[in-house]
Amino acid sequence: MSAIATVFHADVIEQAGATRAGRGPGCSYMTRLLYRLAALTAGFLVVLVAGSAPPSFADTGSKDGQITVFLAGDSTMAEKLPEKRPETGWGEFLQSKFDPGKVRIENHAQNGRSTRTFIGEGRWQALVDQVKPGDYVFIQFGHNDESPEKVDRYTPPAQFSANLARFVTDVRAKSGTPVLMTPVMRRRFDDEGQFYDVHGIYPDLTRAVAADLDVALIDMHRKSEALLRRLGPEQTKALFLILAPGENPNYPDGVDDNTHFSPLGAGLMADLAVDGIRELNLDLAGLLLERPASSRLDATFSERSSQPDSHISVAAGDLLSRNRQFVARSH
């Protein structure tokens, strides 16, 4: 390791530890420091893979007339096995937002994966090999990257930024459109009912990569935080995999999982993603199905909220129907 790299590595480790412990200069310093390395890495990747500036996507399109939206991420996005129901990844709801004849969703997200393991297991290369001009790749990581105690999946901050930069470069080299997404929030409230975040600097690193490489960003971290704060400690339980003993045969002893979603929670997160697609004015937004004018946050919640969020829009009947379907599969 060079002297410069050694100093950089030591500074990263020291500051990351201080930030995680609530000390030190905080995320703004870390973002600037860590991203210097990631930006350099991205620059080399652009030269090596693309050979020139990123291509223009104005005239590109899928040859068969159907756009594919690939999903790369972790368990919060992934499709679930029958024995895990009613746990649901928000990516499972995305196909219902589009005409399947025009847009096809391919969900490559996998439980427990970080950017490092998604690459190391060959999952990223398998995905990017399928990308056609005009396709999209939605990329959401951070849940598993940020856990140093889980050595099988942890990704140091500088490597996390470099991995995201590689994802962007690889998709652009295939004339596709990358969309970065910050991780969705875990359900965390203190004894006084105040919400708090546990993702550390990783959402800020994703935002920094998006800004530096001029990539579309859907900030699921902030969107989901707004939703959880509005609903509060009790009502948010319905959004997560929280079941009493005997409530579901897949979880005879019950389960108290404040990371993974119930069908209702997954549907709401997918709706936030759709809001992000519209807000970015992506070409993909023109292919979204029209939502009913009456479609809003589930009636159970809005009845108890004096100020329902206008941007949180999902049909309660559709979600409840899907909930019954997923629960039925688990029996």
Strands (E), the chain: 67-73, 103-107, 136-140, 177-181, 216-218, 240-243, 255-261
- The CATH number of whichever domain residue 51 belongs to comes to 3.40.50.1110
Nearest Cα to Cα of residue 10 among 148, 2, 107: 2
Cis (ω within 30 of 0) for the bond into 54?
Answer: no
Domain tally, the chain: 1
DSSP 159: H
Q: Report pLDDT for 165.
A: 98
The pTM assigned to this predicted structure is 0.74
Query: Which residues face 69 on adjacent strands?
Result: 105, 136
pLDDT of residue 313: 35
How is 227-259 classified by DSSP, letter by letter?
A: HHHHHHHHHGGGGEEEE-TTS-TT-TT-EEEEE
H or E stretch covering 40: helix 27-45
Question: Within 10 Å of residue 118's Cβ, how many Cβ atoms?
Answer: 27
Q: At what angle do helices 157-173 and 202-212 cross, to 10 degrees?
A: 40
Domain containing 160: what range? Answer: 3-330
Successive 10-residue mean pLDDT values, the chain, 331 residues: 33 34 38 41 34 31 79 98 98 96 97 98 98 98 93 97 98 98 96 92 97 98 97 97 97 97 97 97 94 46 39 40 46 40
Q: What is the pLDDT of residue 126?
A: 98
Q: Helix axis angle, 157-173 relative to 27-45, nearest 10°?
A: 40
